[in-house]
Amino acid sequence: MAASLDGPRLAPKGRAKQLVVFLHGYGADGNDLLAIGQQWQDFLPDTAFAAPHAPEPCAQAPIGRQWFPLSLRDETELWPGVVRAQPVLDQFLDAELARYDLGDDRLALVGFSQGTMLALHAGLRRKRAPAAILGYSGLLAGPEYLASAQAKDGKGRPPPILLAHGDQDEVIPVDAMFIAAEQLAEAGIPVQWHLALGIGHGIDGGGLLHGALFLAKSLGLPAPAPRGLR
């Protein structure tokens, strides 16, 4: 995969002290998630947000993009897909971190659906662990290969992970979250989870709030006064 990534960004008014990168779902593009950054600015001050477009046009949604071909009917397609997509994402992450003169300890990955698959795969295999991985409505690709998920921070710890999922998800059943959490825990990678009641394949206000608070804590930022999300 030789293509380089680009997409919309939100820059803070002053110097960026952390970077949040959104990885969109199958058939969408970077614009689909960037608005979340606007809602999180009170929780994550001095944060740069980036939402790259996936490198491939989506076969089933011609105006959208895909990180890799996906049918969700064949589990064997997931592992080759994330492996193929990781190098181009790593290249983008390295360039964005260099843009703001930041290290991986100031990086958070936020994925939705197919983007969650890639966030988990790539984030757990960076040379140094990101500050956090937040995955909405996704699943863990290739759990049998978790031995290669060796990313650690400066204290030798894996990155903190929060998985969020709607209990009415009609695309990726909610069981995928619990299975992923169990598989990661068995590999020595602790996971938090948030169950969104009555929510399908999407993100509700509660999920956004939990995600914002999780990222703020993981990045060492003080929690703002509880004013909710706009």
The CATH code of the domain that includes 173 is 3.40.50.1820
State residue 229's pLDDT score.
54
pLDDT above 70 as % of the chain: 96
State residue 102's pLDDT score.
98
Do the Cβ atoms of 137 and 200 come closer than 8 Å?
no
Q: What is the pLDDT of residues 95-145, one digit of tens each?
A: 999 999 999 999 999 999 999 999 999 999 999 999 999 999 999 999 999
Q: Which of 46, 105, 201, 204 is catalytic?
A: 201
User: Does residue 3 belong to any structural domain of this protein?
Assistant: no
Do the Cβ atoms of 163 and 193 come closer than 8 Å?
yes
User: Does residue 223 belong to any structural domain of this protein?
Assistant: no
Average pLDDT score over the chain: 94
Does the annotation mark 169 as catalytic? Answer: yes
90, exposed or middle or buried, with CB in 10 Å at 0-12, 13-18, 19+? middle
Contacts of 222 (CB under 8 A, 6+ apart): 216
Tell whether the model's pLDDT for residue 36 goes beyond 90.
yes
Handedness of CA 217, 219, 225, 226 (dihedral sign): negative
Do the Cβ atoms of 196 and 166 come closer than 8 Å?
yes
Tell whether the model's pLDDT for residue 154 goes beyond 90.
yes
State residue 59's pLDDT score.
82
Tell whether the model's pLDDT for residue 226 goes beyond 90.
no
User: Does residue 103 belong to any structural domain of this protein?
Assistant: yes
State residue 1's pLDDT score.
42
Between 4 and 126, the higher pLDDT residue: 126
State residue 81's pLDDT score.
96
Does the annotation mark 137 as catalytic? Answer: no
Domain that holds residue 32: 9-218
User: Does residue 77 belong to any structural domain of this protein?
Assistant: yes
Residue 225 — very low, low, confident or very high, per pLDDT cuts 50/70/90? low
Q: What is the pLDDT of residues 45-91, one digit of tens each?
A: 999 999 999 999 998 887 899 999 998 777 789 999 999 999 999 99
- Count of CB atoms within 10 A of residue 38's CB? 12
Q: Which of 53, 169, 194, 210 is catalytic?
A: 169
User: Does residue 39 belong to any structural domain of this protein?
Assistant: yes
User: Does residue 112 belong to any structural domain of this protein?
Assistant: yes
User: Does residue 137 belong to any structural domain of this protein?
Assistant: yes
Count: domains in the chain: 1
User: Does residue 225 belong to any structural domain of this protein?
Assistant: no
Q: Which of 32, 53, 104, 113 is catalytic?
A: 113
Does the annotation mark 90 as catalytic? Answer: no
Q: What is the pLDDT of residues 199-209, one digit of tens each?
A: 999 999 999 99
